[in-house]
Structure 1
């Protein structure tokens, strides 16, 4: 524990599609390793998972009328930042967007330099893609959530 904490948002559209963001994922070596991940980011020590999720959703999508669901997963991710030798402790929260129309107006300069693309994905597209997506196995993890079957306790994901 004591590692940087993050919130990851499983943002679902009215069409039951998941928003993913494709990052260049450039480490200190300067070599890009593009990957897709959910919306989200850093969480302050005085910030709840829910508050951080709403802030990140607003910054990354421009959406404000989002309904939050439960925190469903917890994971430790050292893969995306392996060159930096950082392991992020991440809480994944379910959220429901009122629309698939998003805006990049709230992006920081860093996000503008790192983000390649945003896209809403169906579960079938997540299963078929050969692109790198974090969390690993997200389609299988997401499947019961799409049916409203939420875990009774937060699921601990295998470390990556």
Structure 2
């Protein structure tokens, strides 16, 4: 919920958070120290009108937002993280929500 507000300007009242679908861990340097970042991915539905970058408090250099179909994700020439996102989204769209969070690269 915090990330939606900080990076996309979404008011948490506009979001009903669903189950956790996936998780990804990444080790990297922050201020010269090694840290482990753990990302958790949840199912939610958000209207396009609820995304308002003008209200983002920490946009983290986000240059663009857009809505992607599964076909768009698979055909993207841009790098899309996490690896395996298209497979996960396709499974959810087809009604195959994982019983336990899957691990993504």
Structure with the larger helix share: 2
TM-score (norm 1): 0.54
RMSD of aligned C-alpha atoms?
2.0
Q: In the alignment, is residue 122 of structure 1 matched against residue 69 of structure 2?
A: yes
CA shift digits 1:78-116 (9 cap, x unpaired): 3xxx4544331111111111x2122123223x52x6111
How many pairs were matched up? 99
Runs of 5+ unmatched residues, structure 1: 1-52
Distance 1:151 1:62 in 2: 26
Residue number among 39, 42, 49 corresponding to 1:90 in the alignment: 39
Higher strand share: 1
Question: Aligned partners of 1:89, 1:83: CA distance in 2, in Å?
Answer: 14
Mind listing any 5+ residue stretches in structure 2 that lack a counterpart? Answer: none
SS of 1:88's equivalent in the other structure is strand
Runs of 4+, deviation exceeding 4 Å: none
Select 1:147's aligned residue among 70, 94, 104.
94
* Native 8 Å contact 1:62 1:105 kept in 2: no
Match of 1:46 in 2: none
